[in-house]
Structure 1
Amino acid sequence: MTIWEMLAVFAAGIGAGTINTIVGSGTLITFPVLLATGLPPVTATVSNALGLIPGSISGAIGYRAELAGQRRRILRLGIAAAIGGLGGAVLLLLLPSTAFETIVPVLVALALVLVILQPRISRAVQRRRELRETESTQTGGPLLFTALLLASVYGGYFTAAQGIIYLSLMGMLLDDTLQRLNAVKNVLAAIVNSIAALFFLFVAHFDWTAVVLIAVGSTIGGQIGATVGRRLPPTVLRGIILVVGTLAIVQLLLR
């Protein structure tokens, strides 16, 4: 890499760490930059996954106040994230590079629809619980576990808009504030990235320069994102999700 390419990758890491902590889709910033430096798609994906681990952890630490009282939820959903992340990493090396990318825009679009409808769906679910006089589950039950498992398979493979999918699923099936769910999303993303990266370390080729630059940049971005994101009201946060998700779909379709 030239010095200018290194600066571009570092800047992309900061941007990705920031946007990942707030909502997700940071990969849509770093991935094109890595490709522009001449890295092959799979090498860029693996290097990106390794580099974003510190940023995910940084963002989760920044949201530590919102994680209070969610230990049981995180432990249960974390298992789904770990299994799915490993499965996605394996598929990345086994399947053609375009296999999952063809359905990515559809997945992101579906997630955005769920985000838009989330308040209405949540109210409907709450009314149904009240009619049945049942307590809301703190973990989302088997449905959320399965849905996050599948989302994590996708996350281990490509990661773009993974956070948006997580937030849409949890917002629909859990009775909690969007900020607290965003904190859980950051932990789950860190788990998926870490599991996939550990697998890649032993079986895949990656670029150490790109990894280090993204790691440092995303760590800084994670703190920026936590500072900005936790101050946003639910309506604004949901609006950012929709804007980022729409841009993600456009970029993926134009690739």
Structure 2
Amino acid sequence: MGIGEAAALLGVGMAAGTINVVVGSGTLVTFPTLLAFGYSPVVANVTNTVGLVSGSLSGIHGYRTEIGDFRAKRAGRLARLIAASLLGATTGALLLLVLPPKAFKAIVPALIALALVLIVVQPRLAKRIAARREAAGDGSRDRGWGVLAAVYGTGVYGGYFGAAQGVLLMAILGLTYADHLQVLNGVKNVLACVVNAVAAVLFILVGTFGGGPAVQWGPAAAIAIGALIGGQIGARVGRRLPPKVLRGLIITVGLVAIVSMLV
């Protein structure tokens, strides 16, 4: 890995770390960059997953107060949400490792397109969530197994690829709990971190001992350092970024990724 590649991956890692903490679509920045440097889609995905774990951890640290507020009220519920994410991530990561690389290359453009649609509709979704929260007052709509199933499904998606899983989680949490959005964003960061960490561990183990796609440690380290810094930026000042500018950047990069995988 040359100096230019390392610098580029450090930069996009920082951007992804910031984006993941704020909205949760950082993969749409780092994944296309890895493709542009010539890595195969599956190798780029496992490398990206490992690299972005540090950003998730950084985001959790930045939102530790909000996470503590949620845990104080619903410690048991938070534990069950984490368990659902863990199981979902394991399922999704195993699917990535079991299915042939051609399947990933065929499926991922559709997943990226889905992620871009979610990002486009996110403002409307946020308004609906706010309206339901206002109607609920201080209560919540904890649907038990229903919300756990939805979080599990998001974990499967995140373990397999992961772009915009944060958008999905925010929709699920926002429609279920009446807590402040920043509190739910903290919980989102916890669940996304669980998914990324579980998938990363499986990818490392299988790539090292099981003959699976090998993590490229140089690029992963560059992304990790950038994401670690970006996670702190996202937790402190990322909320001030103009939403339209952020969404426009993510959509542009996502479209480039789709084109790069189809040609």
- Please classify the TM superposition score into its range, dividing by the shorter chain length: 0.7 to 0.9
Give the 3-state SS of the residue equivalent to 2:107 in structure 1. Answer: coil
Map of 1:116 onto structure 2? 124
Match of 1:250 among 236, 250, 255: 255
Contact in 2 for aligned 1:28/1:160 (Cα 8 Å): yes
Counterpart of 1:76 in structure 2 is 80
- Residue 69 of structure 2 aligns to a residue whose secondary structure is coil
Q: Closer, same or farther in 2 for the Cα pair 1:59/1:101, shift >3 Å?
A: same
More helix by share: 2
Percent identity between the two aligned chains: 42
Alignment of 1:38-187 (within 5 A): 38-71=38-71, 72=75, 73-95=77-99, 96-104=103-111, 105-106=113-114, 108-110=116-118, 112-113=120-121, 115-120=123-128, 123-124=131-132, 127=135, 135-137=139-141, 139-187=142-190
TM-score scaled by structure 1?
Answer: 0.85
Question: Residues 42-75 of structure 1, C-alpha deviation per residue, up to 9 Å, x if partnerless?
Answer: 1111111111111100011001111122222431
> Which blocks of at least 5 consecutive residues in structure 2 are unaligned?
208-213
Q: What is residue 228 of structure 1 aligned with on the other side?
A: 237
Q: Which moved more, 1:83-92 or 1:104-113?
A: 104-113
Equivalents in 1 of 2:81, 2:250: separation in Å? 23
Deviation per residue, 1:96-132 (Å, 9 max, x gap) = 22343143123542565365134335535764x68xx
Superposition misfits of 4+ residues, deviation over 4 angstroms: 124-127, 239-249
SS in structure 2 of the partner of residue 39 of structure 1: coil
Give the aligned residue type for 1:250: L
Q: CA RMSD in A?
A: 2.6
Q: Deviations over 1:23-49 (max 9, x none)?
A: 111111111221222222111111111
TM-score by length of 2: 0.82
Question: SS of the residue aligned with 1:51?
Answer: helix
